[in-house]
Structures are given as structure tokens and as C-alpha cells.
Amino acid sequence: MIYNFLRLILYIPLIIISLFSQKKRNFLKKRIFQGFNKLKNGERYIWVHCSSVGEINLTDSLIKKMLVERKERIIITIFTDTGYAIAKRKYSKEERIDIYYFPIDDYFLIKRILSKINVKLLVIIETEIWPNLIKLNSKKGKVILVNGRISDRSFKKYLKLRFITKALLTGEIDKFYMQTEVDADRIKQIGATDSKVSVVGNLKFDVELENYSKKEKDELKNRINAGNRKIFVAGSTRTGEDEILIETFKHLKNYILVLVPRHLERIPKLEKLIEENNISFEKLSEVGKEKKDIIIVDKMGILRKFYSISDVAFVGGTLVNIGGHSLLEPLYYRKTPIFGKYLQNVKDISKEILKRNIGFQVNSSEDILKVIKKIENHEVKNEEIEDFFNKNKNVADKILKEINEIIN
């Protein structure tokens, strides 16, 4: 009651501000005045609540598995505009999925949704603690928290509010599926019952990529005339990175460099750059029988196969301010990823990689050369990479199994 009273008071300045701000007005309109007409009256639903793009992306495998194994419809709510747009793009063709903006924990709007549909389960992604969403859903069905994590900063805040969070976490949420032991310990400290907490790993790192046979990999090595040379694959490279990589390559012996630019329209400039450095090269589509020093991949959708045959793997978009591309792809093929300092798109995985010492962060060609020497000396233990994947393997399957037990 106190929470909702304070919310009503906050609506007053919000409405006043929105009168003078088109942006704020649009924000409120999308979330408060959206219709819920597309919801199927009386049908069984699973409600999945996400905050933004990251949560939508990491739940993709879980949602797709639920569509296959469960009969319920799915309602997805998202807080941000970008997350909403991604969800619409991903699931526009899925007849059993309804997508809405999260109605900013408005008591009456959530009641309105729950009066139309039969929600058997609320799935909260990560740690989105919204009292009305949780409490009202707990009266209708089960509530679980999935991929739970609590940062250092959030943990300090939650500890101060423990007198509020404890009742909500103890009585209204049925299960907590946390990413790590640290997260599990923290959720217990702020009020969750021990028996309700499990560590299942991180959905974000639960990947299933293509597996290539020895024959397929040997054929690709033969196609680029690798011979007895080691293969240095630089994936999804951007302008400003190729110069550093070519400078690095000039100091390597018995290597072939495979450059996989993120955008194929950059290839003419890439060719000119290599010519200026007097290095022999060929485009993949034009490879002949003669050995070349550099192969430019001028075809989309083949990077993963190249990572699978690499001895050294660099992930682009990280030495320039792009934010990084997938660090999981080389790791999946048990290759040690090398990457730069610009990691805003892959923040969580980069932290985990560096913490476990299963990848290297670099700033220059000199750094890359030092790292390559470490890789050649087998300073990265394969067991560490295996342990990383084992702890984050089949997370979606584990959660779905729990869901089946909870609501069947």
C-alpha cells in the first residue's frame, strides 16, 4: 500500500514533466495507454519479463524451447524501446507470442492483464524486482527468477532495503535460478530462502554453434593452402584494426593471416593496405594453388568455420570503439580469444574470460605478439575453457526442466 501510494504521488510530477517533453510523453503513452486487445481471453500464458536488449537476446533459446515443449501462449514485456524493437523483430512471426511494453509496474494495468489471461508462470529475467508484478502474479500462479545476478552496487542497495525485499523474496517468488555461487549467496542475504535458490549458470553463455568434422576442417585448410603454417584468424575486423593486425603479422614466422572484415565493402581498401605493406594476398573466392601470406574472406557466414581451424583467434570491433563482437565463437571451438579494450557490447563475457585467464586483452601489435607467444607456449589451460562451458552448458534445458516440474 505504501509502495503504490508513493507511486501515485510520483505520477503527478511525471505528468507535469510530460506536458513539456515530447520524449517523456511518448514514454508514458507507450507504457500506460497501450491496449491489451491482442491477448487471448482466458488462455493459459507464461509471462516473460525482460528489461532490455540484453535480456531479450539471452532468453531467446529458452523462449524457443518453451514454444516447442509447452502449450501455453507467451506474453513478453520489455521496459526499453530498443528491447521492444528487438523482440518484435525476433518474434513477429510467432503466433503464440504477444509482446508489450512493461506498464512500469502499474497496479491497475497489471491487474487488467491478469484479468484477461490465465498466467500459470511469471519468468523474471535477471533481477527485475517489481513489487506489483511479482505480488499480483504470485496470486495467480508461480513466479521464478531466471539468470539471476546481483552486482556489487545493487547488492549494497538491496541490503539497505532488506526489510522490504525479504517479505517479497521469501513469500512471493517460488524459485531463484542464479548465475553464480556469489549471486546465490547475495540473494539469500537479502531475503531469499536457501531451499529456493539454485545455481544453474548463465543463459548468455549457453551457446550451440555448428560443429565441423575433421574432414571439413582439413578441406578448409587445404583450400587456403595453409600447409604446415599456423593459422591466425582475425574475425569481424574494422577500419583501424587491420593496420595493427598486418603490422603484427609482419613479425610472425610460419603463419598465414586470415582477415575476415565485418563489412565486405571495405575489401578494396583492405587490398590497398596489404599492397602498401608488400605482402602477398588473395581473396578467398580467388584462391589458387600458390601459397599466399594473407587470405581476405570475401564471403559472409564462414567466420565460425575459420575460428574452428585457427591457432590464433582475434575478435574485431575491440581495438576501435565499436564495442566488440562475439567472444564466445572462438571459445566454443576451444580457441583462446584475443581482443582489445572496447568491450561495451560483450562486457559480461569479457570479464568472465579475463577472470578465468582463458583469453587476453591487448592494446597494440606488440601486445598481440606477446600474447601469441603465450598461446604457443600453452599458457592457457584447456581445462579452464572446458570448465567454463561445462558450468554454462544447457542452462536453458535445465530451466525448462524446472519449469515443467513447477507448472505441470
The domain spans of the chain are 38-206+393-407, 214-391
In this model, does residue 278 exceed pLDDT 80?
A: yes
Q: For residue range 163-176, list pLDDT tens digits in order.
A: 777 888 888 999 99
Residue 129 clears pLDDT 90, i.e. is over it: no
User: Average per-residue pLDDT in the chain?
Assistant: 92
- At residue 28, the pLDDT reads 79
- pLDDT, position 263: 93
Work out the average pLDDT over 117-123: 97
> Is 214-391 in CATH node 3.40.50.150?
no
> What global pTM score does this model have?
0.75
Instruction: Report the topology of domain 38-206+393-407.
Output: Rossmann fold (3.40.50)
- What confidence score (pLDDT) does residue 406 get? 92
- Inform me whether the pLDDT recorded for 408 exceeds 90: no
Q: What does the pLDDT look like over 173-211, one tens digit per residue?
A: 999 999 989 999 999 999 999 999 999 988 988 887 899
Which range (63-67, 99-103, 181-185, 391-395) has the least confidence?
A: 391-395
Point out the least confidently predicted range of 39-48, 358-367, 378-387. Answer: 378-387
What are 298-324's pLDDT values in tens digits?
999 999 999 999 999 999 999 999 999
Give the pLDDT of residue 243.
Answer: 96
Grid cell for residue 173:
517468488
> How confident is the model at residue 151, as a pLDDT?
83
Q: Say if CB 341 and CB 244 are below 8 A apart.
A: no
The answer to whether 38-206+393-407 and 214-391 have equal CATH topology is yes
Model pLDDT, residue 59: 92
